[in-house]
Amino acid sequence: MEGLLVQIVSALETLCEKYKTTPMAGRSNLQQAVPMSFGFKMARLLAQFRRHQDRLKELKPRLLVLEFGGAVGTLATISESASHAPAPQDSVKEGLGLQCQRLLAEELGLGMPSIAWHCERDSIAEVGTYFALLTSTCAKFATDLKIMMMPEIGEASEPFVHSRGSSSTMPQKRNPIGSAYICAMASSVRSMSVGLCEASVADFERSTGPWEIEWILLPQACALTHAVVKQTNYLLSGLEVSPENMARNLELTQGNVVSEAVMMGLGKTLGRSYAHDLVYDVCRQAVVEQTPLIDLLLKNEDIKRSKVPEDELRRLCDPGQYLGWSAEMVDRVLQSKD
């Protein structure tokens, strides 16, 4: 798992560097919102996977702890008060039971528990929750990729492999099969994480059923999580990106994708509220008449009276000039790895 996460982070760092300033449409409610860079999109994903790496490091010491305590955890069957086994330096005197527990933990490479945790299953529930978070991040990426692979959008694609994702009856199809698998498996892991939390609601010192839920769900959750992360690494490592289609899609709305930039620019002379209503009407006109926004802005009498220079209007209508601090934030994420 840790090795796959390292590979995913490395692939994302490469994508961030390569596409740091490549403009594309940011989307809100499945509609074009404002421009951003594809590197910015990948940097947000990279930041998530870095957090997952941190979570895994923090989780392991709590998870990898020995459970060895007898019937109810008291080690009552190993009750002799002395032993020839060496006790750790500067430790309190150990009885035989605690010495056995310590030596077994050392032999297995596990942490020494402070107390038995027969029916305290929070660590198991925590790892289930971690699996749910990790695979949800993978599924969010896969969901976006499925949509971006649509021919009508065509901004990114899964790696091409002959016959992968093909249709038995439609030879032209290239289905997002890896993304589909990721989403299906991640959904199953999320359901299993709830079951692992349910298993922690156990009765007394050894439960009558909830504990056994782990036997069913935990192996499946581990296997599916590994499969999701492995498939995500495969997609990111060979991701096909189309800056040309990103640029094409930015032109689909006749320039409306930068309406916010135009509104804020005109607001300096016309007033924020008036500029909003004016640009709203012009944007609607651009859609109805299929006329570039810049052409309508240059003809608008109110805008002419505002005396905003033509070169400024053209700059405001350039999506590549309205990426905000995308590149700087990409650099900030890349530089935060240490």
User: Are the beta carbons of 185 and 224 closer than 8 angstroms?
Assistant: yes
> Any residues with CB less than 8 A from the CB of 121 and at least 6 apart, and which?
196, 199, 200, 202, 210, 211, 214
Residue owning tokens 């660590």: 123
Active site residues: 167, 206
Phi, psi values for residue 253, rounded to 5°: -95, 15
Q: In sequence order, what DSSP letters do the residues of 129-158 get, joined into one string?
A: HHHHHHHHHHHHHHHHHHHHTSTTT-SEEP
β-pairing, 156-157 vs 240-241, is: antiparallel
> Any residues with CB less than 8 A from the CB of 166 and at least 6 apart, and which?
173, 174, 175
Report the Cα 333 to chain-centroid distance in Å: 14
Going by C-alpha positions, the residue among 26, 14, 16 that lies closest to residue 319 is 26
Going by C-alpha positions, the residue among 40, 8, 35 that lies closest to residue 260 is 35
Report the Cα 283 to chain-centroid distance in Å: 34
Count of alpha carbons within 13 Å of 210, Cβ hemisphere only? 21
